[in-house]
Structure 1
């Protein structure tokens, strides 16, 4: 009997990618073969995101793509958007099944009959029921894996739907994280990126309660000891949860790399208060200064939102000047968009879309300058590069430990190896060229 085929499409964050990977393994355990989304499959699973604008339009396009590949295929929607607006997704032509936050990891239980439904069937919970934890990790890319250590969030930021989509903050057990890390290293993967919704909150809600069994510092200390992992990277951590002892540990660490991604969201204290963030800009300055003190060569990325309700030109300029003067390496710029059931959606002082777009463009331009300046500061230094597996127009790309993107003529022997290099110059496309130093152990 021919094995059934399943294909996946993931929207959104690294956390979604780690969960898609785990769900895909459950299909393989049930006797399915995984194929690419553009191929003919019996089941198409779309892991949705609620953060990106036009999520519904994007979703409809992806469903059409699945139907084009196989009009008779069974189409399932999971993820954050499926939890927040299940009926909206179920009403999309071609969708057979929509699963909420607690059901997505049990998707294979819902697939006894792959006959297409006349109407999308919804199985979703009240988000208060999402109080258990499912560990996940992705191993699709042979050079790096995303390892989920935490889920949900207890913060009440006024623009954010993630607590509504993912529930309370809860964590994996230390033993399980370490076991997953070992399983990843046994696949020959050289780098693990730690992911979660609010990973600095790690330890809360282990075993379904609010007791802190371990802290984030305990977790990174133990992970640093796992043999076989060459690199560990912290994906994104709130400034108020990035403590000095964690920064110090990374600076002296065997495997953790000098790269921090620290959400700011606004450089104006007035706006931060309206967002209900848990810090003021002064704390952010202090965190950047601490990283620079112990790791001058570290890469520091920043999340920032433009066009939040009530953000005046003066507030925006405050943010622009704050970031311009701050010693950071690049920006991830998000244009504010209204989300149902959030406090900010009902706030006064709505910023016109054109103004939001203009501000976003200005900060993206600043990000290009920041990255260029950071790369220039690294020219002449010796770094270790982990090379990736794709041949991109005759070039192989890779990243240094401090997240400088490099390129070299394609050489399959370099794939998934760590090489000592000297950074020599910035190419026209903004990537960095290098010369080989001595070769690291692969």
Structure 2
């Protein structure tokens, strides 16, 4: 009987891609992968440092594993494991904690799967994380997450990611293209490019600063790969999203008109305190440029509320700025203190109840923005890629410009693309449609 392994992933698309790569390593070693709710010999938890209450969340997931099999070996990897390894090792039931450079070699640490009295830590100094490990998720969902870059050289004052993932470094163009071809050969229709700071793509494979290729080069070459139906760019910094890239996407065969661009604050004073690398004027310019060449494009925005020193006036400026922008939805983050960041030492701490109130206001604005964007798309013809889950008798999917649609469940639609006309917004906020022609793809 093969040993069984189960995985739980917290956090971003990048983590999902890395979990998949780690899982393939286990499969290569003869393990059978099972669902996290099932009985397994090993449970691997890929942690996140951005998630609020990360420690509480982690403890509950460890308990879940122990409930499924009290004798199972529990390993923690990922960003939180790099930042606070001992904290995770001290959690009852945890046997192994691996930092940034060790997580891809996890099977090397599994000579003995008997439970440890104490969590064993193997964690590097983050300066040692100067090599690149390519990864992508496959077989998990309709779309694949393809990692092209890791680490970050930016020093935003609220962020621990450079401490958790090290310096900016990139995969080689050849490796990215080869991975993309492998994904497309598995009948996966959409690839999402992921990384910590993907607009910084091109920094040397081993952390050197010689730029072999740029992000624009990468987009151009990926667009030529046959067999990939859709390519989507995940979050990209506004100062790294160049006009040439926007123009290329607008004329692209496979890249879809969907951008996710972190703003964080609509007030220049707060942006400076955050050590962001742009002012709000540049951000507005990026949105205007996208909408000029792709009026139907979907634009998502990250915003942080309650940053130290953010007054009511600062927040209202952010609210009004976002409200006036032609964007489609928001991801709202309530600022939370992180050890070893500059912001944690700053004056002007915003009380928790005010942070919550501001967060609620922006989430309400996001609902309005998404509704307005969906309404603007009614009557248009779009292409939908259907997901694989039956959700209460419905199948869901996304148009190329990220409008979420629904129709009664039909297993034949799973992982297929269809031209549709968007017709109405349902009570749950999702969009109904009519097929342009009969099921054909």
| TM-score, shorter chain, exceeding 0.5 | yes
Could you say which residue in structure 1 is the equivalent of 2:192?
193
RMSD over aligned Cα, in angstroms? 0.8
CA–CA distance in structure 2, aligned partners of residues 325 and 214 of structure 1: 36
**1:67 Cα offset (Å):** 0.4
Partner of 1:285, secondary structure, is helix
CA–CA distance in structure 1, aligned partners of residues 207 and 345 of structure 2: 33
- Aligned partners of 1:173 and 1:207 also within 8 Å: no
Partner of 2:248, secondary structure, is helix
**TM-score after normalising by structure 1:** 0.99
Q: Name which of structure 1's ranges 139-148 and 427-436 shifts more when overlaid on structure 2.
A: 139-148
Could you say which residue in structure 2 is the equivalent of 1:66?
65
Could you say which residue in structure 1 is the equivalent of 2:398?
399
Could you say which residue in structure 2 is the equivalent of 1:281?
280
Could you say which residue in structure 2 is the equivalent of 1:131?
130
- Aligned partners of 2:167 and 2:207 also within 8 Å: no
**TM-score after normalising by structure 2:** 0.99
Could you say which residue in structure 2 is the equivalent of 1:217?
216
Could you say which residue in structure 2 is the equivalent of 1:309?
308
Residue deviations 1:305-344 (CA, integer Å, cap 9, x gap): 0000000000000000000111000000000000000000
Could you say which residue in structure 2 is the equivalent of 1:175?
174
CA–CA distance in structure 2, aligned partners of residues 183 and 440 of structure 1: 27
CA–CA distance in structure 2, aligned partners of residues 186 and 244 of structure 1: 32
CA–CA distance in structure 2, aligned partners of residues 438 and 303 of structure 1: 37
Structure 1 portions without partners, runs of 5+: none
Partner of 1:168, secondary structure, is coil
Could you say which residue in structure 1 is the equivalent of 2:55?
56
Residue deviations 1:285-314 (CA, integer Å, cap 9, x gap): 000000000000000000000000000000
Could you say which residue in structure 2 is the equivalent of 1:344?
343
Could you say which residue in structure 2 is the equivalent of 1:241?
240
**1:206 Cα offset (Å):** 2.0
Could you say which residue in structure 2 is the equivalent of 1:318?
317
- Aligned partners of 1:153 and 1:198 also within 8 Å: yes
| 1:160 partnered with 2:159 | yes
Could you say which residue in structure 1 is the equivalent of 2:119?
120
| 1:433 partnered with 2:429 | no
Partner of 1:302, secondary structure, is strand
- Aligned partners of 1:206 and 1:212 also within 8 Å: no
Change (3 A) 1:142 1:335: closer
Partner of 2:436, secondary structure, is strand
CA–CA distance in structure 1, aligned partners of residues 394 and 28 of structure 2: 36
Partner of 2:262, secondary structure, is strand
Partner of 2:49, secondary structure, is coil
Change (3 A) 1:441 1:204: farther
**1:143 Cα offset (Å):** 1.6
Structure 2 portions without partners, runs of 5+: none
Q: Which residues in structure 2 correspond to 1:322-401 (within 5 Å)? A: 322-401=321-400
| 1:256 partnered with 2:261 | no
Q: Which residues in structure 2 correspond to 1:5-154 (within 5 Å)? A: 5-154=4-153
**1:441 Cα offset (Å):** 6.0
Partner of 1:424, secondary structure, is strand
Partner of 2:350, secondary structure, is coil
CA–CA distance in structure 2, aligned partners of residues 282 and 348 of structure 1: 26
Partner of 2:437, secondary structure, is strand
Partner of 2:331, secondary structure, is strand
